[in-house]
Structure 1
């Protein structure tokens, strides 16, 4: 969701292109088949609108759309008043300013980067000035020096351009490597040098010339930035302070040895196997970051230190577990070593953790700045004031989480932060109460204030142009709904603007009087609407994307139900009930991917293919349950971190409790329950089939993580820590360690060019199953697919296999497990 000049919406007027497409489409879709629902979506479901944004004058709306069923979306435009959307020609697109950019304080000008050059747009006249036109790429444009100049980076250095004079000034001179060596300080070498100058007149003359050149260069150097040598480091995030005295920058040190996993690509245009360089694995050395400060007036540089940060030496609580085991005379039964035989090592209590700084963020007057600092283990986030003159920081807020810091508006970097108009209070989002809410803190008094509160999440927050109102998206009415609200800048009552059940992704118009909304409901795909920015406003539909073929089928509005987990927690899920249940009373549980993602909601799912497949299953008499298990998004901090140090724990028991609900409340046969999912959902499916074999008779694990020690660092380290420090967490969370428990029928599907969860994952598990002499499993491979499948033929093949697995094992007369060895994608 976005609030600036770019967003999304639903239909009212029927565009000519959509009418033509619908007229040509078949009249009926039922009965559903895998072949029908796994076709190219744009050709029968409809090309849904995306990435909408306003023109700078608010008179036009632009968005990506595909009403023609083409291979790719195109840019379309319409007006807030409606009418038939019109495709924007490539020639016209080249004349449009980029939708994203930076505005000056008066909101009269916008600077943006496009195709590697910098442009300045006058919002009143619409005039565009090209600031740069070079072969090098210029990026990160911004207004600087109280909006008098523009700043941008080129070749790792900071430049400014003055619109009044046209003068370009280079503000930094960063250079790789080390400076050239000067005269040696060695006593012996100094003696020899003095002797040479005393003996030879030609050397004395050359020395005088050298000194004269140095004096001249030193005089000229006062007009040029200081040469700063980086060694093996690089720089990012160059910023000029509002008063022009300082340049701040991030110093980036890549790890010396960064071994990357390679993924072979077999089906290539060249006919040769090509290797794709992908990523390292969890626990590998990580990039280090520091904040550098270049004091232009003093012509010197500093690197900020963080020793005074409260809790910087505080080690994670889980390490105490290993410390106690190390001191115990005999290890506890569950204290198993890692698969490689190594055990975790306790770190010294006084060790300072590495941190990553973000910012600085300056107020409008330029007299105050703050940083967001995160520990490298992501268990702490500090917001601190910064005095660049003294290089001192002062603590304003600390959020500590023994699991990991994240949540809406917080993320993995700086998060959603800024200054209030008074220039002395900072606003930010925090999960301090267990839900992400909006806060302010006074940099002088340290007083903190919560602007929102309650058992719901603030998912987006942005100040209006006049800085008097917050524009907020939150799930206040229901965890499965997203609405747009207004809130006074000092807090108070949230005023709900949108009214329809579902999700609203909102872009506020330039004059902030109108909302551009991308809206959807559970069985109604995304469309674009506009409505006035006031409560109870009427929705005016701009697009109609779905085809008559898609509309010919009565797509289910799945029930959003709740049930109680075995630990007493309330679990949300989507339920698809058959109009005519099959006599054998089968059921399937779907497990969404990503872990931190929500799918038991009231809007059009990003798992739309799975949604359609669930309708197909319900038509065949299956009951389908889609659980927002522990680790899912939308339910606050406790739910988000419920999988800490044990993936396959509560996230799996939530599936088992869902199966119990199906039996107890909906009459499902406990011997005829299947489970399936992709990515994280595939991982859970494997854990279910290996560790809960009596609960699930058949499972389809798609693009599954089979061993978390082989996944990436950024995701896995947050949840399981490093494998060499927390081997127990990895041992109990990785399906490959439980493969001997397989009883039911297992289908595994994986793309061979998966650069996220590597094909190696499923190969290792297959070898493990072979060595365990398991026979009731099948592996289908897809030679041209990455993690997210693209080709309709692959989707079709995969879901035919899934359907066959369930039909054979859940609806068959004997409901006996299927048998078979590993096969390729082309065989059944």
Structure 2
């Protein structure tokens, strides 16, 4: 399917070695691997970087202070966001934040156009879109902008607008060869691109199907019909009129036929119309019940001076299993067919039997296995980037991606509308949980063949699967494949991967038949791409350790070596004027697994002068990668770490187990016990600093936010001698109060697996606190609720703990917004370290 859219080590050698990569490392640089053998990164020198916008002359110098670091990030420059090609492929567009405003503007540029110009509001529909479709076999392209449909005939500069309505359209697709289909609410429509005629194709409602007459259902009604002939005549008249109306709708193509009626307790999850307009795949679920009255968040600072009780998400402890019902609707006849899951291998496996048995035995009970059907639905969760229903262009087959609510299985199935039965194409089972990333799949253009990503080898890799053939692996190795684009001629897969190094992402293309692979970039950082609609260019978003993201372009029609041309230059003079401390990317040996722990290491230049203080930073999100060679989402922390180094600290920022980018086993090491493997890695990290970076083990602190705050709790509570102080920011203290999509993957649910929650939640270990603890808590956090801090503080009061303090931030959400809050928070963190390390 088509996308719409000079190495120096400042580390004292004491016999333990680590891979070290500094910003500026080039292809072929010698590094030392964790097994102490020298190796050369296999980097093909394919890309040469040419700047069409030289770095501007620095006119403004600033000092590295907390006030500067935590000020409004506009001072860094306002970097490109959401870049894409215009529908014509002639222009590149991107969003850029206005200075001192939350508003973003669209900018239009080209491969040679620099930062470009702000797009006129009157012409925005020509340059950007919400959804975009482009099939090589169709004579036109189409897109939506602000909920309306536009199209352009290939080779023409004329753009035609087909809808202008307050009801936004979505889910656009090609319909036959001359029309566009789209969804509005619970209806599909089509518009003919030549005539402009708008047609409602099918609509569905969740209600009882109307009847001409009601059957007698009580004594009074039955007697009335026996005794009063008039009522029988009126009854027959209603039946005749109802039958005539139905016959007219069936017999006259100019009239919209009747609605499709479904269970009135259900609601739409997702719907998809076949390219020939004959079939609809519809997924429904039980309508969401009214949330509990306690699912609210008090907001104490409101414009009117009152307290607002804002509704928030449900807790995982209150989660109920959810299933989706799949229907196939015949658009012409309105026949409704329910699709069964019983052909899915493992549809009724008791996959949590061992977990349930362990919990039952703890309670002195006996668990008996059951084979009841599992709750199954479309893989359409909080992280999904693509629709889990995909029709082949021929309309002969539709592919669906399904998942079990218990998170242990993902199925890719196909359905022939004529057979109305699911055919298994691929099953991925994981005894821990199926990754919510790396679930891309789609069809080849000209054959009934699927492509898909799977972690079954241990890493996200690319596969193909003819519907009547065998699964074939296209990429192979200990690296992650993501963001796949299949060329319109079915010849090449384009994707990003961290082949060279876990922290370096480049763009590659692999021939679908031969498997021959070519690296298209060699930029040594973090790189994402967008393919132009005419497949002539790649639009790159590239960043380095100390350089925020900028846009680059690569012409795919140029002769090798390909050239990446820099387009934008948006980084500020102020940012460029600072001599940043560039971290090394190191690979520390692990004492627990046969794999290195990758980390960013910040060291003072005179690291050997005296025993140093150190800070260990734990990133948030759990499943996130931060020890990479690109610009981090934790840019404030990057700057703070540079400041700490200037004060003589060593800083370690590690990708502990559970971080992204290192394969399935690294990801699932925390299954049913969050905070164990990660703290083991913290111990290894501190030991490595002591042995290799001249760090005093009695002068080490830690901090982190969100998941990093949770890890601060777990470190100070369960390994109280590891750190001398810690700061927990917006922290989780009890996983039973967190959300379902993330938490239930790792810990199952509290009703099924309370053991996992009790050994993973810091509130159960608060008695272990010995060292100073700072807790910083935003009060309008709808991600990690403020109650997590409230309950833990009360617990520590009852435990008579005296060595903690709490700072609250009344107007802040999970990700702070106000510079004054950022500054206050990091002043407190810095003070904590200065006083205790």
TM-score by length of 2: 0.88
Would you say the 8 A contact 1:10–1:528 is kept in 2? no
Equivalent residue runs for 1:58-69 within 5 Å:
58-66=89-97
Equivalent residue runs for 1:54-453 within 5 Å:
54-66=85-97, 71-83=102-114, 85-93=116-124, 96-98=127-129, 100-106=131-137, 108-144=139-175, 146-180=176-210, 182-184=213-215, 186=217, 192=223, 194-196=225-227, 199-200=228-229, 202-222=230-250, 223-230=255-262, 231-256=264-289, 258-259=291-292, 261-283=295-317, 284-317=319-352, 319-323=353-357, 326=360, 335=362, 346=367, 348-357=369-378, 359-406=388-435, 408-410=437-439, 416-445=440-469, 447-453=470-476
CA distance in 1, matches of 2:144, 2:219: 56
CA 1:707–1:457 in structure 2 vs 1: closer, same or farther (change >3 Å)? same
**Cα distance, 1:520 vs structure 2:** 1.0
CA 1:105–1:193 in structure 2 vs 1: closer, same or farther (change >3 Å)? farther
Runs (4 or more) in structure 1 with deviation over 6 Å come to none
SS in 2 for 1:477: strand
CA distance in 2, matches of 1:308, 1:583: 67
**Cα distance, 1:347 vs structure 2:** 6.7
CA distance in 2, matches of 1:779, 1:174: 53
SS in 2 for 1:418: strand
Q: 2:67 aligns with which of 26, 32, 35?
A: 35
Would you say the 8 A contact 1:12–1:543 is kept in 2? no
Q: 1:679 aligns with which of 706, 711, 715?
A: 706
CA 1:453–1:760 in structure 2 vs 1: closer, same or farther (change >3 Å)? same
Q: 1:503 aligns with which of 526, 529, 534?
A: 526
SS in 2 for 1:101: strand
Deviations along 1:461-506, whole A, 9 cap, x unmatched? 1111222111111111110000011111224122001112111111
CA 1:3–1:627 in structure 2 vs 1: closer, same or farther (change >3 Å)? farther
Unaligned runs of 5+ in 1: 338-342, 411-415, 811-828
SS in 1 for 2:116: strand
Would you say the 8 A contact 1:527–1:543 is kept in 2? yes
SS in 1 for 2:143: strand
Q: 1:728 aligns with which of 755, 766, 769?
A: 755
CA distance in 2, matches of 1:63, 1:208: 64
Q: Determine the structure 2 residue equivalent to 1:553.
A: 578
Q: Determine the structure 1 residue equivalent to 2:564.
A: 539
Q: Determine the structure 1 residue equivalent to 2:685.
A: 658
Deviations along 1:190-235, whole A, 9 cap, x unmatched? 8535523xx53x3344234223312321212314334223302122
SS in 2 for 1:349: coil
CA distance in 1, matches of 2:585, 2:181: 50
Would you say the 8 A contact 2:203–2:260 is kept in 1? yes
Q: 1:520 aligns with which of 543, 546, 550?
A: 543
CA distance in 2, matches of 1:718, 1:143: 36
CA 1:58–1:356 in structure 2 vs 1: closer, same or farther (change >3 Å)? same
SS in 1 for 2:170: strand
CA 1:115–1:778 in structure 2 vs 1: closer, same or farther (change >3 Å)? same
SS in 2 for 1:252: strand
Q: Determine the structure 2 residue equivalent to 1:814.
A: none
CA distance in 2, matches of 1:537, 1:159: 44
CA 1:419–1:273 in structure 2 vs 1: closer, same or farther (change >3 Å)? same
CA 1:354–1:597 in structure 2 vs 1: closer, same or farther (change >3 Å)? same
**Cα distance, 1:321 vs structure 2:** 4.6
Would you say the 8 A contact 2:355–2:753 is kept in 1? no
CA distance in 1, matches of 2:694, 2:637: 23
TM-score by length of 1: 0.89
CA distance in 2, matches of 1:299, 1:655: 60
Would you say the 8 A contact 1:403–1:641 is kept in 2? yes
Deviations along 1:619-670, whole A, 9 cap, x unmatched? 1111110110111000011111111100011012111110111111112111
**Cα distance, 1:613 vs structure 2:** 0.5
Q: What do you get for the CA RMSD once the two structures are aligned?
A: 2.5
Would you say the 8 A contact 1:595–1:680 is kept in 2? yes
SS in 2 for 1:656: helix
Would you say the 8 A contact 1:42–1:70 is kept in 2? no
Report the number of matched residues: 775
SS in 2 for 1:175: strand
